[in-house]
Amino acid sequence: MPAAPADDALRSYSFLGPSGTFTEVALGQVEEARGQIWKPVSNVGEALGDVLEGRSTAAVIAIENSVDGGVSVAQDALATMPGLRIVGEVLVPVNFVLVARPGTRLEDVSVVNAHPVAYGQCHLWLDAKLPSHGHIPASSNVAAAASLLDGTSTADAAVAPPGIVNHYDLDVLAENIGDNPNAVTRFVVVSRSREIPARTGADKTSLIVELPNDESGSLLGMLEQFSTRGVNLSLIESRPIGDALGRYRFVIDALGHIEDERMADALLGLRRFSPNVIFLGSYPSADRTAVDYHSRYNDEVFIEARDWLRGLLSAEPLDD
């Protein structure tokens, strides 16, 4: 592990740039990153590489979108780059504008530049207003807009974050073009620290779990490891392991902290059940909502059961 930076040294945070991206907005909500170095990078792999190799203290990456689902590249990177830990999460509301070179009218637009995820989230609006449009994918929401001006794109308009006009000389042809007004993207803060953030009562534990084989029964068996300990899941996504069709790992967010007895016991069960469990971290949930669970799964219940078992094994005489 690289040496911790001296107290007066600035810490570096990698994020998907350039300036103006939603990831930058997410980074702005990370308290410990205030006043530190923000390092724009060009993709998730580079951001996580910065962390793994000690160039950055942490990275902020998009992991899940309420409309488009899990961000596969991020999920797969966390599954295959050992040594990373999630230490926090941030939610960013997502909305979009359609921008164009000054003077362009909506009816002039035939080709739209957009990052594929953003395109997916504005799909209904675009189909309704521009039924015969073509789509050119961009590498980021900001790049989509910027390409209108730098001559690298033949598109007539771009889907972009609302703040884009602070950075580029573009006209807004339409606002709020996202198909879902409640769309939100979840970002996670990834570091290499082994320290687990303290338990708050409103925590999440992120895991990646492989199934022991490809029977449907094994997914049931995996889910029972949670349900039998009263642990609920806020996220479960399948990702192919990649060696053959039908082989999956599951990306899971479970409600609770590794120091909760019920979660620790579920982790033990998963570790025994699965050929590969990756613990990505326990951290405070962004919504700060206390985890709701049945009192049957209180810490005290687990502790009392262990005491009971220990008493049985110690062959102590009964009190009578």
Name residues contacting a copy of itself, limited to 237-276 (CB under 8 A): 237-240, 242-246, 248, 258-259, 264, 267-269, 271-273
Q: Going residue by residue from 17 to 36, which x/- string records binding to a copy of itself, judged by CB under 8 A?
A: --------------------
Q: Which of positions 49-78 make contact with a copy of itself (CB under 8 A)?
A: 64-70, 72-73, 76
- Asked if residues 61 and 185 have their Cβ atoms less than 8 Å apart, the reply is no
Out of 37, 128, 290, 305, the only residue in the binding site for a copy of itself (CB under 8 A) is: 305
Of the two residues 20 and 178, which places its CB atom closer to a copy of itself in the complex?
178
Out of 101, 167, 168, 279, the only residue in the binding site for a copy of itself (CB under 8 A) is: 279
Of the two residues 132 and 166, which places its CB atom closer to a copy of itself in the complex?
132
Binding piece for a copy of itself, criterion CB under 8 A, among 9-17, 28-36, 151-159, 162-170:
151-159
Would you count residue 304 as binding a copy of itself (CB under 8 A)?
yes
- Asked if residues 282 and 230 have their Cβ atoms less than 8 Å apart, the reply is no
Burial of 245 (0-12, 13-18, 19+ CB in 10 A): exposed
Element (H, E) at 157: strand 157-160
Tell the smallest beta-carbon distance from residue 68 to a copy of itself (Å): 7
Would you count residue 176 as binding a copy of itself (CB under 8 A)?
no
Count of residues interacting with a copy of itself (CB under 8 A): 97
> How many Å separate Cα 181 from the centre of its chain?
20
Of the two residues 73 and 106, which places its CB atom closer to a copy of itself in the complex?
73
Tell the smallest beta-carbon distance from residue 171 to a copy of itself (Å): 22
The two structure tokens encoding residue 257: 């902290």
Tell the smallest beta-carbon distance from residue 245 to a copy of itself (Å): 5
Largest CA distance in the chain: 93
In whole angstroms, give the CA distance from residue 279 to residue 43: 23
Cβ neighbours of 184 (radius 10 Å): 15
Q: How far is CA 286 from CA 91, 187, 311, in A?
A: 6, 10, 41
Residue type, 26: A
Q: Which of positions 205-224 make contact with a copy of itself (CB under 8 A)?
A: 212, 215-217, 219-221, 223-224
Out of 1, 7, 103, 166, the only residue in the binding site for a copy of itself (CB under 8 A) is: 1
Q: Which of positions 87-126 make contact with a copy of itself (CB under 8 A)?
A: 91, 115-116, 120, 123
Of the two residues 1 and 6, which places its CB atom closer to a copy of itself in the complex?
1
Would you count residue 15 as binding a copy of itself (CB under 8 A)?
no
In whole angstroms, give the CA distance from residue 165 to residue 24: 16
Q: Which of positions 121-150 make contact with a copy of itself (CB under 8 A)?
A: 123, 127, 132, 134-139
For residue 128, report the phi and psi dihedrals to the nearest 5 degrees: -75, -40
Q: Identify the CA nearest to 82 among candidates 54, 55, 49.
A: 49
SS3 45: helix
Would you count residue 5 as binding a copy of itself (CB under 8 A)?
no
Of the two residues 136 and 165, which places its CB atom closer to a copy of itself in the complex?
136
In whole angstroms, give the CA distance from residue 193 to residue 187: 18
Of the two residues 171 and 259, which places its CB atom closer to a copy of itself in the complex?
259
SS3 295: helix
The two structure tokens encoding residue 217: 């029964």
Would you count residue 200 as binding a copy of itself (CB under 8 A)?
no
**Could you tell me which residues are beta bridge partners of residue 282?**
205
